[in-house]
Amino acid sequence: MSAKKAEQEIAISAPRETSVLFGHREAESALLNAYSSGRIPHAWLIGGPQGIGKATLAYRMARFVLTHRDPASDGVQRAETLWVDPMGAAARQVTSGAHGGLLTLERTANDKGVLRTVITVDETRETITFFGSTAAAEGWRVCIVDTVDELNPNAANALLKILEEPPQRSLFLLLSHAPARVLPTIQSRCRKLRLRALDTADVVRAAAAATGIAPPDPALKEAAEASEGSVGRALTLLGGDTLKLIERTAALLANLPRLDPRELHALSDALGTSDRVALAAFVDSVERWVGERLRADASLPQASLPRLAQLAEVWEKISRAARDTESYNLERKPLVFSVFGMLAEATQ
């Protein structure tokens, strides 16, 4: 099967449906060892770049705990990884979203069927009912927050309250693309687990497993090499059009603060009107550029804090605008011109 055909036809497995983990052996061992010790911290902040397997690891841990409810059991003490039989009852219930011991907090659709830009406080308060259920006494309860970055302020405070007084046999797995920006009060109540970007070989294997493309496929290898260790990014890169879009975006970013209106129009046209993959690739390219610029400027001997703060504020605005564009399927051209206009002003 060609990479182009896969891009058009293959449905990518969601993390809750994925039973195989590529890379992250140290992180997996940390979770397993903590659980088997019988003294596992009740909350974990699992951080790292987007698309590297944080959610896959979280669901893998949830399946293990909900399958082996007694940390002292032989199944736990003899385990070398968090793998469980995907055909087991608990594993199948986790995959289908029907397990009573697992709650996932993530962005949901509103009454009009449009995906919200944040996780709301009402959704977060479901944890009170979830952990307060009498059935909780029967075993572990696991809550995955995917991602804590998307909690609105009230939702973050609601989560903090239950983290401060965690119920017995409760496990919180909080995922974050930017863990340093999570509320310090939430960070202080979590064991931090940082996941590194995957090496190219693991990206190839993971992307091949997700798409059905044979690992020797040149397009798959090219996408993996350009992914910077992110399986999610590799999947968006499969196909030459996305790679070309990223190259065009990079060229415009390299010329900042100078802007070329013709190239901006061309980039907008390349994004199309409803191509979510192209939009994600564009936003991801801008995010990586801003991150690299912030790190480079911060390392200078006379780094300007107001300048760094301005660029960080611009990125927050870009993130909100991008989420709105995706959620409401808005025109891409206003977003492109707005993004480059704000970046040009911030980098003058």
Do the Cβ atoms of 109 and 326 come closer than 8 Å? no
Last residue of a domain, one of 157, 174, 194: 194
Residue 222 maps to a domain: no
Query: Could you give the 3-state DSSP secondary structure of residue 44?
Result: strand
Do the Cβ atoms of 123 and 103 come closer than 8 Å? no
Residue 77 maps to a domain: yes
Q: Where are the alpha helices (DSSP H) in the chain?
A: 3-9, 25-37, 54-67, 74-77, 89-96, 121-124, 126-132, 153-164, 184-187, 200-211, 218-225, 231-237, 240-254, 261-271, 276-298, 305-327, 332-346
- Same domain as 163, residue 86: yes
Domain count within the chain: 2
- Same domain as 243, residue 189: no
Q: Give the type of residue at 73.
A: S
Task: Look at residue 7 in the predicted model and tell me its pLDDT.
Answer: 36
Q: Which residue has the tokens 């070309």?
A: 244
- Same domain as 188, residue 281: no
pLDDT in tens, the chain (348 residues): 344 433 333 446 788 998 899 999 999 999 999 999 999 999 999 999 888 999 999 999 999 999 999 999 999 999 999 999 999 999 999 999 999 999 999 988 888 777 788 899 999 998 988 887 645 446 899 999 999 999 999 999 999 999 999 988 999 999 999 898 899 999 999 999 999 999 999 999 998 888 778 887 888 888 888 888 988 888 877 766 777 888 889 999 999 999 999 999 999 988 877 677 788 888 888 988 888 888 777 766 655 677 778 888 888 888 888 888 887 878 899 999 999 999 998 888
Nearest Cα to 286, choosing from 341, 328, 348?
341
Residue 221 maps to a domain: no
Task: Look at residue 5 in the predicted model and tell me its pLDDT.
Answer: 38
Whole-angstrom distance, CA of residue 267 vs CA of residue 134 = 55
Q: Which residue has the tokens 């996780």?
A: 119
Q: By CB neighbour count within 10 A (0-12 exposed, 13-18 middle, 19+ buried), where does 296 fall?
A: exposed
Last residue of a domain, one of 159, 194, 229: 194
Q: Looking at residue 143, which CATH number applies to its domain?
A: 3.40.50.300
Which residue range(s) make up the domain with 163? Answer: 24-194
User: Phi/psi of residue 43, each to 5°?
Assistant: -140, 135
- Same domain as 148, residue 55: yes
- Same domain as 270, residue 189: no
Nearest Cα to 143, choosing from 172, 120, 106?
172
- Same domain as 258, residue 186: no
Whole-angstrom distance, CA of residue 311 vs CA of residue 318 = 10
| pTM exceeds 0.85, yes or no | no
Whole-angstrom distance, CA of residue 332 vs CA of residue 334 = 6
Last residue of a domain, one of 165, 194, 223: 194
- Same domain as 271, residue 148: no
Residue 19 maps to a domain: no
How far are the Cα atoms of 52, 116, 231, 268, 334 from residue 331, in angstroms, in the given order? 29, 18, 27, 9, 7
